[in-house]
Structure 1
Amino acid sequence: MMLHGFRSSKQDFTFGSWKVTAAKNHIMKSKDIERLSEELNMPSLPEMLFGDNVLRIQHTDRYGIEFNAIDALKRVNNMEDTVKVACAQEWQDTRSDSEHTKEVLRPFDWTFTTDYRGTLFGDQLHIKVTNTEERIDIEKLKAREHIMFFEEVLLFEDELHDHGVSMISVKIRVMPSSFFLLQRFFLRVDGVLIRINDTRLYYEDGRDYMLREFSTRENTIAELKNIPAAFYTNPNEIAQHLTLKVTECEKLELPVMQLESSVN
């Protein structure tokens, strides 16, 4: 589990026409969580929900993309229990005498798996999303370039009733010629499976688009029996051993006015 300090912070970093904002705040209060739970029609929400945390990339023309916990939760399946654990039936049986059982235990994805890829925003101008064959050049990202700004923001985390962990965080690094963002959803259900949903966002200075890549990697624990168990708790280590199930690449085309305004 990550350690959480109680100091709220908000950092802004401006580079060229862009501003990155990283806001970190307290865990959401229980009354706000109850209200949100009703709003999202989900029986429960993650134990540690940072509803006011955000990582935002905004252009001077007031459009951009941000990553926040509530929009991430909106992408959770609130109608279907997608992962069964060995003790689920047992756990349900112990509560079967409760009159609220059906209501409380209606199926929903208690692992909080989300395929969230960020929230686009804009006043008059909007980013246009199209599919592309172009890929983020990972080799270029490995080049040793000065990092002008780095920040990581946790959106939510849950220990799944001591059956593992479900968490999503987003980090960004800004270099003189580009920025790179990685949002990672990491799920480990002990004895059952490990799943990673990654969203990568890359922008190179002077281009009129960003590249966004979404991927899902997943394996059952049985399939990972030859991998050291110590890796199971380390998303960076285990990611390299998981099977790629889904990959989608998109071009986020920036509004033309940006190019006009930079010429004048």
Structure 2
Amino acid sequence: MEMESEERELKAAGAEPLAEGRCGLRIHGWEIESRKGSILKSIDLQQWEQKLQTSHLPEMVFGESSLVLLHMNSGIKIHFNAFDALTGWKQEALPPVEVPAAAKWKFRSKPLQQVILDYDYTFTTPYCGSEAVEINTEKHGRETISEESCSLHWEDCKEQIDVVALASKEPILFYDEVVLYEDELADNGVSLLTVKVRVMPSCWFLLLRYWLRVDGVLVRLRDTRMQCAFGNSANPSILRESCWRETTFQALSEKGYPSDSAAYSDPSIISQRLPIIMHKTQKLKVPGNL
């Protein structure tokens, strides 16, 4: 009965599930798919380290996991993956967060050696998604144009994502959460990058979230939200809202908030306690065809 109800909701919304073996759906000109793979094996990690020119990667990297949103008429593809996120980390290269226990941290692979904290071990990334354009060609089917040459233009705007509307009792046609990478910072906190997607009859919405807690030292939250309404499926527009928040445990304690790390396990609950470092909203107008 539950499956029949889901099928009715999909049909009523003009949606259809992807072929067997794929997780996602097609709706109003969009193909939305989540892909989940296992943690990268050591040989793959070595290849990533060579490409990224680093000897440090998070404990758990889900290199085959991704979320892909493809607008089929224009070929515009918005997608999320761990490699591009870590490329952003490497390029931003923030200074390492000072921690009281730094002298006691050990290399995971070489337990007798002390950690040299000369890199951003939190894997903080400015990543807000990847872009590409897939075009149909007679010879090769779909070909992908790289992000550098596809020239998608995000314009700054004053519009905001309607969070209240998202809380309405509209049926959820598809929902998934994809973990891209995670590190427990040698049991001194958590560094986590995830992307969640929700598809409803009126729109799709996603949240890319980087969450960092260095116990007793720092809390950092970088959220990127995107929403696309289905009102004009031929030429839709995508709103992208980025908000970075950050503060120290000392600053939280001075404001009367708990200083115990256990009180900061859920970023959704405590996000409003964190001061805003950066906030901007942009819009991408998707053409019918490129």
- Tell me the TM-score normalized by structure 2: 0.77
The answer (yes or no) to whether the contact 2:31–2:71 under 8 Å persists in 1 is: yes
Structure 1 segment 1-264 matched on structure 2, within 5 A: 10-61=22-73, 62-77=75-90, 79-89=93-103, 91=105, 105=116, 107-124=118-135, 127-207=152-232, 208-225=236-253, 226-228=256-258, 229=260, 230-257=262-289
Tell me, yes or no, if the aligned pair for 1:64 and 1:127 is still in contact at 8 Å.
Answer: no
Gaps of 5+ in 1: 1-8, 259-264
Question: Identity of counterpart residues, as a percentage?
Answer: 38
Moved more, 238-247 or 191-200: 238-247
Q: How many residue pairs end up in the alignment?
A: 243
- Secondary structure of residue in 2 paired with 1:28: coil
How far the C-alpha of 1:81 sits from its partner, in A, is 2.8
In angstroms, what is the RMSD of aligned CA positions? Answer: 2.3
The answer to whether the 8 Å contact 1:126/1:255 transfers is no
Distance 1:192 1:10, change over 3 A: farther
1:120–1:257 distance in 2 versus 1, CA, 3 Å = same
Q: Does the CA contact (< 8 Å) of 2:96 and 2:117 recur in 1?
A: no
The answer to whether the 8 Å contact 2:34/2:67 transfers is yes
Distance 2:100 2:37 in 1: 36
1:84-104: CA deviations, max 9, x gaps?
111324559xx9x97xx9xx8
- 1:185-205 per-residue CA deviation (whole Å, 9 max, x = no partner) reads 000001101100000000111
Q: Deviations over 1:191-223 (max 9, x none)?
A: 101100000000111343100011111110112
Listed as ranges, the gaps of 5+ residues in structure 2 are: 1-20, 136-149
Answer yes or no: is the 8 Å Cα contact 2:155–2:283 preserved in 1. Answer: yes
- What is the TM-score when the length of structure 1 is the normalising length? 0.85
